[in-house]
Structure 1
Amino acid sequence: MLLEINHLEKVYRTRFSKEETRALQDVDFKVEAGEFIAIMGESGSGKTTLLNILATLDKPTRGSVILNQQDITQIKEGKLADFRLHNLGFVFQDFNLLDTLTVQDNIFLPLVLGRQNYKEMESRLAILAPQLGIQNLLQKRPFELSGGQKQRVAIARSLITRPQLVLADEPTAALDYRNSEDLLQLFEEINHAGQTILMVTHSANAASHAKRVLFIKDGRIFHQLYRAGKSNQEFAKEISLNMSALLGGE
């Protein structure tokens, strides 16, 4: 088992009162290596809090997160950046690329921070660039690219460290339908090659590309669906029906 989330709770307390907000309540699930999971829920449901804890950007009040037999909630603050660099890949809705760097240097950045040698960087990029269709973009700068191209570059940056887990936060939110579909198909291909992906999304269409969907409500896992042999269209319809039930409180 690659990832185990065990009875996770997150309670926020205001500084000047005893008022508590429970963002997560007894969240418990497991992720096998090679899975592609989407997490869905309305705003305020707790999905962003969950993603932040998995990204080691926040710590739970109770519970544990075990990634490849290591409890990441117990890693000391001074070692978290290094842990993220070597174990986690991130894809954000706003790309988070630096316009002052070329595409190639943006992709290389996590390896530079990890003090990887240049030949190894080039070797890894030589494999990734054709897979992601960005060979002709490497010497451009992000402001010269379309939204879809920027997200492909962001995916390359997330994959070049060969992470155990890729965390994607609304990766299609800033893209039009065609670019969204291209990106999601790319995610499917990356997952098919063995990469484990956990994606937070509001979109039933985006979630339909995953193998499993977890629905979160009021800080709890409310329900889950498996894609099994369904087509994307069939799975998207089933996801939409479940989201309607979730929002309707049924």
Structure 2
Amino acid sequence: MFLQVNHLEKVFQTRFSKEKTHALSDVSFTAEQGEFIAIMGESGSGKTTLLNILATLEKPSNGDVVLEGRQISTIKEAGLAEFRRDHLGFVFQDFNLLDTLSVRDNIFLPLVLARHSYKEMAARLAVLAPKLSILDLLDKQPFELSGGQKQRVAIARALITNPKLILADEPTAALDSKNSDVLLDLFEQINADGQTVLMVTHSSLAASHASRVLFIKDGKIFHQLYRGDKTPRDFNLDIMSTMTAILGGE
């Protein structure tokens, strides 16, 4: 199994209070290599906490996460940055690009930190840039780009390390509808090429491009839907119905 999430629990407790908040309660699921999974739930449901644990940014209170046989929740603090760089790719709603660097250098940054040669970095970018339609952007600065262009650059930066897993946190939240559609089509293409993608989103439209949707409610997996051979439009209707049931407490 590519990814296993086993009985995750996350409990938060403030320093000055004995009150405990259970952000996650016994969350378990698996993912095959090459899946595109969306995680949905209302604010405070635990989906961001789950993403942070998968990203090794937080440790679970109980349970574990296993990626290709490796239990990532036990990785020592000193090795976490290297693990993220070598195995995970991140796409965030606020892009996280550095305006002091060119687009090309922003994309190269994780490989520079891993001390790859310029020749190798250039070779990887030569493959990615045409696919993401960013060839004409490489010498620009991020502040010169539109939101949609910035997000494509952020995806290139995530993919250039050849990560095992792409983690996307609300990747369409800062985009208009046109750029959101372009981005989601791009995620589908990336997934069709074999990349595993796990995306947290509030948007049923965004989730409808995934092959499976996990719904979280009160820190637990409430339900899941498989897209199968449905179009994104038809799958979107199923997702909206499920979200209505969740919000209605059915």
TM-score grouping bracket, smaller chain normalisation: over 0.9
Q: Distance in 2 between matches of 1:105 and 1:15?
A: 41
Could you list the runs of 5+ residues in structure 1 that have no partner in the other structure? none
Q: Which residue does the alignment assign to 2:114?
A: 114
1:60 alignment partner, SS class = coil
Q: Which residue does the alignment assign to 1:86?
A: 86
Identity of aligned pairs, percent? 70
Q: Which residue does the alignment assign to 1:183?
A: 183
Residue type of the alignment partner of 1:98? L
C-alpha offsets along residues 62-103 of structure 1, whole Å, 9 cap, x if unaligned?
A: 000000100000000011000000000000000000000000
Q: Distance in 2 between matches of 1:74 and 1:47?
A: 21
Deviation at 1:16, TM superposition (A): 2.0
Residue type of the alignment partner of 1:44? G
C-alpha root-mean-square deviation of aligned residues, in Å? 0.4
Q: Distance in 1 between matches of 2:101 and 2:58?
A: 29
Q: Distance in 2 between matches of 1:12 and 1:122?
A: 44
Deviation at 1:14, TM superposition (A): 1.8
| Segments of 4+ moved more than 6 angstroms | none
2:6 alignment partner, SS class = strand
C-alpha offsets along residues 176-233 of structure 1, whole Å, 9 cap, x if unaligned?
A: 0000000000000000000000000000000000000000000000000000010110
Could you list the runs of 5+ residues in structure 2 that have no partner in the other structure? none
Q: Distance in 2 between matches of 1:14 and 1:82?
A: 30
C-alpha offsets along residues 45-68 of structure 1, whole Å, 9 cap, x if unaligned?
A: 000000000000000000000001
Residue type of the alignment partner of 2:205? N
Q: Which residue does the alignment assign to 2:136?
A: 136
Alignment of 1:160-171 (within 5 A): 160-171=160-171
Residue type of the alignment partner of 2:144? E
Deviation at 1:18, TM superposition (A): 1.7
Deviation at 1:15, TM superposition (A): 1.2
Q: Distance in 1 between matches of 2:238 and 2:164?
A: 30
Q: Distance in 1 between matches of 2:57 and 2:76?
A: 12
